[in-house]
Structure 1
Amino acid sequence: MAAEAHPPIAVVETAKRFLASFDRPARILVAVSGGSDSKGLLLALNEAIEATKPTEFSLAACTVDHALRPESAEEARNVAAFCESLGVPHITVRWDGAKPSTGIQAAAREARYALLAAAAQRLEASTVVTGHTLDDQRETILMRAQRGEGPGAAGMAGATLYDRRIWVQRPFLAVDRTAIRAFLTDRKVGWFDDPSNVNPRFERVRARASLASSAEIAAGIWDAQSRAQSSAAAATLLDRHVWVHAGLVAEIAPQMAGPSRNIDWQRALLALTTVIGGRAHLPAAETAERLTAFLEKEAAGRLTAGRVVFDRRSTGLYLYREARDVEDLTLQTGQAGIWDGRFLVRNGGGVPLTVTVEGGRGPQQQRLIAAGLPPGVAGRASLTAPKVLSEQGESVASITIEPRIGLYDTFLPGFDRIMADRIAVLFGREPYPPPPVHDLLTEMER
């Protein structure tokens, strides 16, 4: 294959195809750590722009200094010098503050994307690109298979929307790391190797070692096209059979309240469960199995799982937050926060406010009954409805509350965008912004 025979050519051609996918001219922010993958991406994009569309695209680069190793500051300076040699503007941003003693890689990832998004805004970039490779994809697939993730599990998406505001794209997700290093070697460009990449305390390092020592293939993991098609089908089912009331109750039509082997519907139901429960991740496999067993009984009753009550009646299946472990949230003037993982709250008034639960027998219960919900469902669901109080204990109106979709509002994989849009609309939110490039979903929507 050409990619194997001429790695340098294949790497630049991949960069050219990526540029050709854009709907309009763009400024691209490249996340550059100094490793081979990100330096190869920057150099390939720079060559591709100069060779094809020098007036339509511009590059900027950003290095995130996580401040976890003494050498990180010097490495960032070396990246800055490399970018200067290419004529690419570069900034370094630093992850300051205390670092967690556990879950350091997950925390670093969250900090990295937040800092990159801020840098993109500062540099007026249309998108952020990262140097994830086919090797990273294989490791991700193996890790997700080993975790036993639920129906529709897939590898990394080629594009992910961060914080509803910036698309992060992975142009090299189908490119092997050896090809990138051959490209850099051909251009006489060196790179750094992060020592954390060989530390076996990290899950990804263990997955990398497993892949290197065996020909293990992860079963049950979908490709991007299968996942996108499933998400589109799930969106259609949501549109036909689900109604959401005040961001509190998901009402599911009777014909969909029983057992189903339709994997698209299973994914839709688990996504609804995640949002109603105020979680950021889909339920664990054990929770999904409990839900399946409950639905297979085909009888009226209630099940609590994943902080959500599944209330099945002759009129349908109703999902609402269980009435426990809901903590109050206090907001100072002009402050915003997330309450119970379910609502984004902003204090636009002149005094501190506290968000607590309505507790039932309040206006929200009456609104839910007026919407046609069974009184028992309305009563239980309103127990965890938000209520705002001032320091004097009085209800106030100088506050905005909107449902939060924790499953997608921070990280939305591109292949789930159609389903995410449908869920957003069900909860009274605006659809998510589309990526700046032609993608599989764009073609499906046409």
Structure 2
Amino acid sequence: MPDAVFDTASYFLRSFTRPCRILVAVSGGSDSMGVLMALHAAIATGEHPGFSLAACTVDHALRPQSAEEAASVAAFCRTLDIAHRTRRWEGAKPATGIQAAARKIRYELLAVAAEALGADCIVTGHTREDQHETIEMRRARSNGPGIDDGEGEGHGGAGMAATMLYGRRVWVLRPFLRLGRAEIRSFLDARAVAWIDDPSNANHAFERVRVRARIAASDDMQMPLWGGRQRAASSAAAAGLIEDRIRVHEALVAEITAENAGATDDPDWRRALLIVASALGGRDHLPARATVQRLSEFLRAGKPGRMTAGRVVFDRRAGGLYLYREARNLPVLALGPGGQGLWDGRFKITSGGPALVVTADASGRRSAQRLIDAGLPMGIVKRASTVAPGIAPADAAGIAYGEALAEIEYNIAPFDTFLPGFDRIMADAVAVSFGRERYPAPPVHDVLTEMGM
């Protein structure tokens, strides 16, 4: 009788461009134990030479039992001769947004473990149920369907991607997105493998648990608005439009011709414009649906004026459209000697030695000349140059920008932390326009894109 779980693991291994070492994220729950066991069984057949497994359990330290559970996973991995590491979330936990914070720290700790264990990628056990829950959560946040107005790229109209690049460092792969939890548990039962049921999965204080209960009580399960391939095709089209229609100057101003500025009826162009705006504003998400609709109306009207959305000014002039960060709520960043930090979500600053203070360059002197040399209108130059970082030693002031004091790199906020695989072509176009290198390719063939459904 065919085994869907084992077959999916075998298919997944065949999708790699070359054999490698895989780090499996194992919490001890049925999904992660299933992906660990399935990959182990597939590799044990000898049909996938060159592959090896390692495992990591992230102990979020949110429950008294978590350390014991991590130890039981480590013991199980020893029975399979799989190298295992436990990484613990140390320190105080946030009072709100705990699940989002846990997700971010989980991927960071997994990335550290992957580096320590020599793994080339990370695999998680996300299932079809996880995909449905994610889609419903994102659908609710976007106030309903309508990816053609920008919801798709900002709120995940295609759901979770089968491949995701974390921190420009390591690819996270989700081979089980088409499998149901019941299939995985049957696979484990057949092999007498136990799993841990996390009590937080029944805690209705968490949004995902509430959504899960609502889905279970409903017969009307909505599927993704877009499939992975459709999302990838739209991203590729948006990438071409970014390259053809948008010029980014000094990572401070995006310039669009008047002819193209109002073409917001084209959903791919709208995606391109909004994603560049998010990068300029240092935001990892797009503006809300209502804001996008107002912005589209403003741009289609074709009249000179300014509108702010997502911390970015859309400055419409007779000669074209200009986008730049609004001069409000610009932070102060203090760096210790040799320290590193992210200023305004836009600039990664690394001290070249001394302690530094990073503020907005109110004078605009350093970047203004470069924007003038690019041929931008003086009004745009004056506004955009004052939202560049000004860097000075902590015991002095008045040194603008400060290339001699620090290394400065632009942070592509929508993609530098979490990049869905189906958006990589678009992300490359954005990165190049901001003077950054392209993102590394995933270790699997593009056929896995469709598994993001």
TM-score (norm 1): 0.95
Q: Which residue does the alignment assign to 1:413? A: 420
1:389 equivalenced with 2:383 (yes/no): no
Aligned residue number for residue 172 of structure 1: 176
Match of 2:372 in 1: 369
Aligned: 1:296 with 2:312: no
Q: Structure 1: which 5+ residue stretches go unaligned? A: none
Q: Would the aligned equivalents of 1:360 and 1:380 in 2 still touch at CA under 8 Å?
A: no
Q: Does 1:379 align with 2:382?
A: yes
Residue 86 (structure 1) aligned to one of 80, 87, 107 = 80
Q: More displaced, 424-433 or 360-369?
A: 360-369
The answer for the alignment partner of 2:435 in structure 1 is 428
Whether 1:124 and 2:118 are equivalent positions in the alignment is yes
Letter in 1 for 2:124: T
What does residue 338 of structure 2 align with?
A: 334
**Which shows bigger deviation, 59-68 or 140-149?**
140-149
The within-5 A match list for 1:73-222 is 73-148=67-142, 150-152=150-152, 153-218=157-222, 221-222=225-226
Separation in structure 2 between the aligned mates of residue 276 and residue 161 of structure 1, nearest angstrom: 21
Deviation of 1:373 (Å): 0.7
Asked whether the equivalents of residues 158 and 170 of structure 1 are also in contact (C-alpha less than 8 Å), the reply is yes
> Once the two structures are superposed, what CA deviation does each residue of 1:361-384 show, in whole Å capped at 9, x if it has no partner?
513112101101111111110111
Aligned to 2:309: 305
Deviation >3 Å, runs of 4+? 52-55, 217-220, 440-443
Task: Tell me, in whole angstroms, the C-alpha distance in 1 between the residues paired with 2:368 and 2:221.
Answer: 51
Alpha-carbon distance in structure 2 between the residues aligned to 1:259 and 1:219: 30
Q: Which amino acid aligns with 2:419?
A: L
Q: 2:24 aligned with 1:17, yes or no?
A: no
Q: 2:22 aligns with which of 11, 28, 47?
A: 28
CA–CA distance in structure 2, aligned partners of residues 302 and 246 of structure 1: 21
- Conserved? CA contact 1:259–1:298, under 8 Å: no
CA distance in 1, matches of 2:56, 2:280: 37
Q: Say if 1:415 and 1:441, in contact at 8 Å, map to a contact too.
A: no
Q: What is the alpha-carbon distance in structure 2 between the residues aligned to residue 404 and residue 361 of structure 1? A: 20
> SS at the partner of 2:45?
helix
Pair 220,120 (structure 1): closer, same or farther in 2 beyond 3 Å? closer
* Matching residue of 1:277: 281
| TM-aligned CA deviation for residue 53 of structure 1 | 3.7
- TM-score normalised to the size of structure 2? 0.93
C-alpha distance in 1, partners of 2:207/2:60? Answer: 19
2:408 equivalent among 401, 416, 428: 401
C-alpha contact (below 8 Å) 2:238/2:272 kept by paired residues: yes
What is the number of equivalent residue pairs in this alignment? 436
The change in CA–CA distance for 1:236 and 1:147 in structure 2 (over 3 A counts) is: same
Q: Check conservation: 1:230, 1:264, Cα contact below 8 A.
A: yes
- Displacement of 1:200 in angstroms is 1.1
2:360 equivalent to 1:357: yes
Rounded Cα–Cα distance in structure 1 between residues aligned with 2:446 and 2:233: 13
The gaps in structure 2 that reach 5 residues or longer are 144-149
Query: Could you say which residue in structure 2 is the equivalent of 1:439?
Result: 446
Which position in structure 2 is the counterpart of 1:59? 53
Q: Could you tell me the percent identity over the aligned residues? A: 57
Partner of 1:48: 42
Aligned partners of 1:197 and 1:221: how far apart in 2? 26
- Distance in 2, Cα, partners of 1:369 & 1:158: 44
For 1:121, the aligned partner's letter is E
Paired AA for residue 439 in structure 1: D
Q: 2:233 aligns with which of 225, 229, 232?
A: 229
Is 1:142–1:217's contact at 8 Å kept on the other side of the alignment?
Answer: no
- Asked if the contact 2:21–2:118 (Cα under 8 Å) also holds between the matched residues in 1, the reply is yes
Q: Which moved more, 1:277-286 or 1:191-200?
A: 277-286
Kept after mapping to 2: 8 A contact 1:418/1:441: no
- Superimposed CA distance per residue, residues 21-42 of structure 1 (whole angstroms, 9 cap, x where no aligned partner): 1111100000000100000100
Q: Secondary structure at the match of 2:151?
A: coil
Of stretches 158-167 and 296-305 in structure 1, the one that deviates more from structure 2 is 296-305
- Equivalent residue number for residue 253 of structure 1: 257
What is aligned with 2:147? Answer: none
String of CA shifts for 1:297-334, please: whole Å, max 9, x gaps: 21111111211110011221100011111012121211
Which stretch shows the higher mean deviation, 367-376 or 119-128?
367-376
Q: 2:332 & 2:59 partners in 1: Cα distance?
A: 35
Alpha-carbon distance change, 115 to 91 in structure 1, aligned in 2, over 3 angstroms: same
Partner of 2:146: none
CA contact (8 A) 1:228 1:441 kept: no
Aligned counterparts of 1:219 and 1:30: Cα–Cα separation in 2: 27
Provide the aligned C-alpha RMSD in A. 1.6
Residue 398 of structure 1, CA deviation:
2.3
Deviations 1:325-344 (A, max 9, x none): 10121212111101111101
Closer, same or farther: CA 382–24 of 1 in aligned 2, 3 Å: same
Q: Which moved more, 1:390-399 or 1:308-317?
A: 390-399
State the 1:269 CA deviation: 1.2
Q: Is the 8 A contact 2:314 2:321 kept in 1?
A: yes
The verdict on how the C-alpha distance between 1:440 and 1:310 changes in structure 2, with shifts beyond 3 A counting, is: farther
**Contact 2:159/2:224, CA 8 A, preserved across alignment:** no
Q: Could you tell me how far 1:268 is from its partner in structure 2? A: 1.1
Q: SS state of the match for residue 429, structure 1?
A: coil
Q: Confirm or deny that 1:314 pairs with 2:321.
A: no
Partner SS state of residue 143, structure 1: helix
1:239 aligns with 2:246: no
Shift of residue 54, structure 1, vs aligned partner: 5.4
What is the deviation of 1:285?
1.4
Task: Find the residue that maps to 2:299 and give its secondary structure.
Answer: helix
Match of 2:137, SS state, is helix
